[in-house]
Amino acid sequence: MSDPTVPDPTVPEPTGSVGFDELYQLNVNGETRDVRDAWVGESLLYVLRERLGLMGSKGACEQGECGSCSVMVDGELVCSCLVMAASAIDQPIVTIEGVAPIGSPSDVQQAFVDAGAVQCGFCTPGLIMATHALLERSAEPSEFEIREELSGNVCRCTGYGRIIEAVQRVSVSRRADAESGIAS
Amino acid sequence: MPVLVPTSLDQAVSMLSATPDALVLAGGTDAMVEVNAGHRKPHHVLVVNRVAELRSWTFDPEASTVRIGSAVTYAELMEPPIADLVPALAEASRTVGSPQIRHAGTLGGNLGTCSPAGDGLPVLAALDAIVHLASATGERSMPIGEFMVGVKRNARRPDELITAVTVPVVSGYQGYSKVGVRNAMVIALATACIVVDTPGRTVRLAIGSVGTTIIRCTDAEAFAASAVDFDSGTASGDTVTRFGELAAAASRPIDDHRATADYRRHAIGVMAGRLLRRGFANV
Ligand SMILES: Cc1cc2nc3c(=O)[nH]c(=O)nc-3n(C[C@H](O)[C@H](O)[C@H](O)COP(=O)(O)OP(=O)(O)OC[C@H]3O[C@@H](n4cnc5c(N)ncnc54)[C@H](O)[C@@H]3O)c2cc1C
Ligand code: FES
Ligand code: FES
């Protein structure tokens, strides 16, 4: 018996590598983006913000503690400050900019606004990413589950009450939509 | 070729032998903290978390063992069926960092860092895990107790990769306990892992964050083996108290900025007693 979630080892993939001054590509929000003149140790957070101009992911601690830099890499919610950018070649990366087009917020983004879960907004992009990931895995999380799943995202303004309320609102409205047969 | 992303173990070990100064990177949750802070400035990086052999685990029903690839993440260890085969490892994994850290962080990285506060390590110690290493010149395996040498020191040679650990599937209660300042995102002040082997009539206890490396509490283990009733699954209040005292006596904590030695020793006694109580009903 082996874990079905891991890639099938019988399917060979080419070995990737990124050289010193080489240009390399990252797949960000469905687009292939060139990264030039980068130092090998640069974090994905740094490359997203400073080299690709994607300022939505926020950097605060750069040590995995605050979650404001959260993105999806290969379908998993991770701290982009702890991902070495060049190690993410050939993996789909989704940032807050890829969640919804500007001007038409996702249901999670709208719920954060409606519930008053945004004050200074610094933690918000990371929390939106974490909330989408949470609701993807668990459509109707308990409050306990929400607290545990969002424990990697620090907010210094709201006290979390309204954030939890926002998550619950999305969960309730998605269920209502599903029950009335509306595709979300 | 500074960033190498091999997909097979053969490629990975031959790349490491060609670039022995490469930073081996799995989830990056320890290594990137040091890189971001400027404490580590790698010229070469070998990314191991896309090596198929390291990304999977297998159950051998005949030997009743699980072999866990070093690049399996904490999030994966928390999911059944492996969470049911090695429940203490799933419990310990759940205490690591946050969901973001658990999606990236790996058991191999915990072994590589070899901090006495590593949450995977007391479980591996209590299970008498075997650590597997591979290099371009061959493979070797050693008991976890020999692999962990000291604070952030292990027996891995620079040309070797940690490939896997093998742990037994044990029939009996197992559990993990951790004390820190909050539930999430916390470095352990003291940890304990109990593994009860009911058919084998043994109780194993390993403690962390209270010494230079993980400590097995052999006096407490020997005492419990003779004092608990394996058939009825019960233990007396006195047995629980004594087990906690012997565990606390085995700890070698220090005072530091996070807690005092006295507090840590006390916490070990409380956690050991509680874990024994979870495994054996009161009589
Ligand atoms: C915010 C935060 C919270 C954390 N909380 C916890 C916690 O609660 N409990 C805990 O135990 N840890 C915690 N950690 C530490 C870290 O997440 C763990 O130690 C984790 O297991 C490291 O795994 P990794 O795959 O990310 O390792 P990496 O950072 O990739 O590597 C760690 C070390 O191991 C070496 N290495 C990795 N894989 C191999 C291999 N296959 N062969 C040889 N060497 C290898 C690397 O070279 C490096 O020296 C936390 C870290 C952060 C940033
Ligand atoms: S900036 Fe990445 S977790 Fe804080
Ligand atoms: S709204 Fe200010 S940090 Fe969360």
Looking at chain B, the number of H-run helices and the number of E-run strands are 12, 16
Whether residue A120 sits in one domain with residue A81: no
* Cβ–Cβ below 8 Å for A81 and B36: yes
Inside any domain, residue A72 = yes
- What average pLDDT does this structure show over B56-74? 98
Tokens of B20: 């022995």
| Rounded-to-5 percentages of helix, strand, coil across chain B | 35, 25, 40
Inside any domain, residue A141 = yes
d(CA B217, CA B207): 7
Confidence of residue A99 (pLDDT cuts 50, 70, 90): very high
Name which of A8, A2, A127, A155 is nearest B60 in CA terms. Answer: A2
Tokens of A48: 């997203």
Around A124, how many Cα atoms within 13 Å sit in the side-chain half-sphere?
22
Does ipTM exceed 0.90? yes
User: Which residues have C-beta within 8 Å of that of residue B96, sequence separation ≥ 6?
Assistant: B74, B102, B105, B119, B120
DSSP 8-state code for residue A47: I
Does the pLDDT value for residue A3 go beyond 60?
no
Name which of B86, B91, B51, B88 is nearest B72 in CA terms. Answer: B51
Whether residue A112 sits in one domain with residue A82: no
Inside any domain, residue A79 = yes
CB contacts < 8 Å between A and B, how many? Answer: 145
Q: A7: cis peptide before it, omega within 30°?
A: no
Whether residue A88 sits in one domain with residue A112: no
Q: Report the CATH number that the domain containing residue A130 is assigned in CATH.
A: 1.10.150.120
DSSP 8-state code for residue B254: -
- What average pLDDT does this structure show over B83-93? 98
Does the pLDDT value for residue B55 go beyond 60?
yes
Residue A41 alpha carbon to ligand 2 centre in Å: 16
Whether residue A123 sits in one domain with residue A61: no
Around A31, how many Cα atoms within 13 Å sit in the side-chain half-sphere?
10
The pLDDT of residue A182 is 65
User: How long, in residues, is chain B?
Assistant: 283
By Cβ distance, the residue of A1, A43, A149 closest to B99 is: A149
SS3 category, B77: helix
Does the pLDDT value for residue B190 go beyond 60?
yes
Inside any domain, residue A16 = no
Looking at chain A, the number of H-run helices and the number of E-run strands are 5, 6
pLDDT in tens, A110-143: 999 999 999 999 999 999 999 999 999 999 999 9
The pLDDT of residue A183 is 54
Name which of B74, B71, B76, B72 is nearest B46 in CA terms. Answer: B71
Per-residue burial over A169-181, b if 16 or more Cβ lie within 10 Å, else e, is bbbeebeeeeeee
Confidence of residue B183 (pLDDT cuts 50, 70, 90): confident
Amino acid identity of residue B40, one-letter, is R
Domain ends where: A96, A127, A158?
A: A96
Is beta strand A31-35 parallel, antiparallel or unpaired with respect to A24-28?
A: antiparallel
- What average pLDDT does this structure show over B43-56? 96
Whether residue A120 sits in one domain with residue A85: no
The pLDDT of residue A12 is 43
Domain count, chain A: 2
For chain B, percent of residues with pLDDT exceeding 90: 96
Name which of A178, A150, A152, A176 is nearest A163 in CA terms. Answer: A150
Whether residue A173 sits in one domain with residue A115: yes
The pLDDT of residue A40 is 86
- What average pLDDT does this structure show over B69-95? 98
CB B108 within 8 A of CB B162: yes
- What average pLDDT does this structure show over A55-83? 98
Name which of B142, B81, B54, B46 is nearest A7 in CA terms. Answer: B54
In CATH, B3-168 is 3.30.230.10: no
First to last CA, chain B: 65
DSSP 8-state code for residue A33: E
Tell me, using a 6 A CB cutoff, whether residue A54 lines ligand 3.
no
Count of CB atoms within 10 A of residue B182's CB? Answer: 7
Confidence of residue A55 (pLDDT cuts 50, 70, 90): very high
Whether residue A33 sits in one domain with residue A89: yes
Whether residue A112 sits in one domain with residue A91: no
Tell me, using a 6 A CB cutoff, whether residue A121 lines ligand 3.
yes
Inside any domain, residue A19 = no
DSSP 8-state code for residue A48: I
Q: What is the DSSP string of B88-122?
A: HHHHHHHTSS-HHHHHH-BHHHHHHH--TT-SHHH
Beta bridge partners of B175: B194
Tokens of B29: 């949750």
Tokens of B177: 């306990």
Inside any domain, residue A66 = yes
- Chain B contact for A83, CB < 8 A? yes
**CATH match for B174-279 among 1.10.10.10, 3.30.390.50, 1.10.490.10, 3.40.50.720:** 3.30.390.50
Show residues of chain B in contact with A86, CB under 8 Å: 2-3, 45
- What average pLDDT does this structure show over A134-162? 97
Span of A20-24, B67-71, B72-76, B258-262 with lowest mean pLDDT: A20-24
Range of the domain at A78: 24-96
**Single pTM value for the model:** 0.95
Show residues of chain A in contact with B57, CB under 8 Å: 2-3
Whether residue A117 sits in one domain with residue A89: no
Name which of B45, B100, B39, B30 is nearest A87 in CA terms. Answer: B45
Domain ranges of chain B: 3-168, 174-279
Q: Report the CATH number that the domain containing residue A43 is assigned in CATH.
A: 3.10.20.30
The pLDDT of residue A2 is 43
Confidence of residue A16 (pLDDT cuts 50, 70, 90): confident
More confident residue, A40 or A132: A132
What angle, 0 to 180 degrees and rounded to 10, lies between the N-to-C axes of helices B218-227 and B237-250? 170
d(CA B5, CA B165): 22
* Cβ–Cβ below 8 Å for B32 and A130: no
Whether residue A112 sits in one domain with residue A88: no
Beta bridge partners of A18: B3
Inside any domain, residue A1 = no
pLDDT in tens, B222-280: 999 999 999 999 999 999 999 999 999 999 999 999 999 999 999 999 999 999 999 99
Confidence of residue A20 (pLDDT cuts 50, 70, 90): low
SS3 category, A147: helix
What distance in Å separates residue A114's CA from the closest CA in chain B? Answer: 26
Inside any domain, residue A2 = no
The pLDDT of residue A23 is 86
Domain ends where: A45, A77, A96?
A: A96
Per-residue burial over A94-128, b if 16 or more Cβ lie within 10 Å, else e, is bbbbbbbeeeeebbbbbbbeebebbeeebbbbbbb
For chain B, percent of residues with pLDDT exceeding 70: 100
Tokens of B265: 């020793």
Q: Which residue has the tokens 């609701």?
A: A135
d(CA B277, CA B247): 14
Does the pLDDT value for residue B1 go beyond 70?
no
